[in-house]
Amino acid sequence: MTSEVVENEFEFYSKAEKYWKDVPATVDGMLGGYGHISSIDINSSRKFLQRFLRDGPNRTGTTRALDCGAGIGRITKRLLLPLFKTVDMVDVTEDFLTKAKSYLGEEGRRVRNYFCCGLQDFSPEPNSYDVIWIQWVIGHLTDNHLSDFLKRCRAGLRPNGIVVIKDNMAQEGVIMDDVDSSVCRDLDAVRKIIRRAGLHLLAEERQENFPDEIYHVYTFAMR
């Protein structure tokens, strides 16, 4: 539980904001020096997502997606804009969202909103999104804030919409990273928070072909 490793909530959030302000607004910056894994990541995410976008009575729509912890728009550009008519982006770092406007190029005109906000304070517009994509950012929320945010995401889904989390998983327990002021939870802790938010897991997958030295990465789809 984050309550065991986060001593001061205000400090936990403000330290993270300060950390990201100093990170270069590049793909390599977004990925902590692992920019070379971006294509592997995007290709796996696309395969994972497309199983929900295929034909069928419960098919997830392709009208609108939300990119949470969007940074400069790496996922918006390569995963979401090719699949959805419009995308909204939310990130706590204003400089990243400013950079996104040039990084996204011509297709960026289909980004409707750039929300500058921490996810602990952000509410997706109710009944608005087919997919809410949350990648490499849940570690910046306490358990309570993550659970509450996921509840708001659930309310933000359109019929047959899904919430997707893709993130690092610890082997056991909750590990604090003092450098970027984040936590890494194990699989059980994340599943517990998902259930607490009233969401049901539809699929869970471990990312393959990532460097051995980094945390295992898992993708969850839920509604």
Nearest-Å Rg of the Cα atoms of the chain is 16
Question: Between residues 163 and 55, which one has the greater pLDDT?
Answer: 163
Query: pLDDT tens, 128-175?
Result: 999 999 999 999 999 999 999 999 999 999 999 999 999 999 999 999
Domains (ranges, CATH) in the chain?
A: 2-222 (3.40.50.150)
Tell me the binding residues for S-adenosyl-L-methionine: 69, 74, 91-93, 119-120, 135
Measured from the Cβ of residue 203, the count of other Cβ atoms closer than 10 Å reads 13
Note the pTM of the prediction, 2 decimals.
Answer: 0.97
**How far is it, in rounded angstroms, from Cα 131 to Cα 154?**
10
Tell me the binding residues: 69, 74, 91-93, 119-120, 135
Instruction: Tell me: pLDDT of 55 over 80.
Output: no
